[in-house]
A = this chain, B = another copy of it.
Amino acid sequence: MYICIMYSSELIKGTLKTIVLKLLSETKEMYGYEITQKVKELTDSKIVITEGALYPLLHQLEAEGVVTTETVNIGKRIRKYYTLTQTGNERAKEKLYEFADFINTMNILLDLKPSVKYV
């Protein structure tokens, strides 16, 4: 499952794309399994991305020209590396900015403080 222990799944919907774009904007090249492990590690297993959610998204991003892929043979197994295109880098920035703004709005609405800064 996309979310494992902590959060009700409905809460997370729609953040997957933002998460993936952010990770790819930091680490030039990543493959699917690597992304799932990185998220698990960074969130202390609070957010666990499933393959059923991730792979279709990655394929969609490729179809949209947001990422390009390179398939590499690791022994007899394959590994598919994803890299952001120029469009992808802009998209990542937009998504992050949008998310930060959304958090600010939610903080005001739900009366949580302080607010998030995104520079």
- By a beta-carbon cutoff of 8 Å, the part of chain A in contact with chain B is 6-15, 17-19, 22, 39, 42-43, 46-47, 96, 98-103, 105-114, 116-118
Considering only CB atoms, which chain B residue lies closest to A12 in the complex?
B14
Chain B residues with Cβ under 8 A from A117's Cβ?
Answer: 112-114
- Copies of this chain present in the complex amount to 2
Residue of B nearest to A104 (CB): B46
The smallest C-beta distance from A117 to any residue of chain B, in angstroms, reads 7
In the complex, A110→B92 CA distance in Å?
11
**Interface residue from B8, B96, B102 paired with A7 (Cβ < 8 Å):** B102
Whether the Cβ atoms of B10 and A105 lie closer than 8 Å is no
Nearest B-chain residue to A98, judged by Cβ? B7
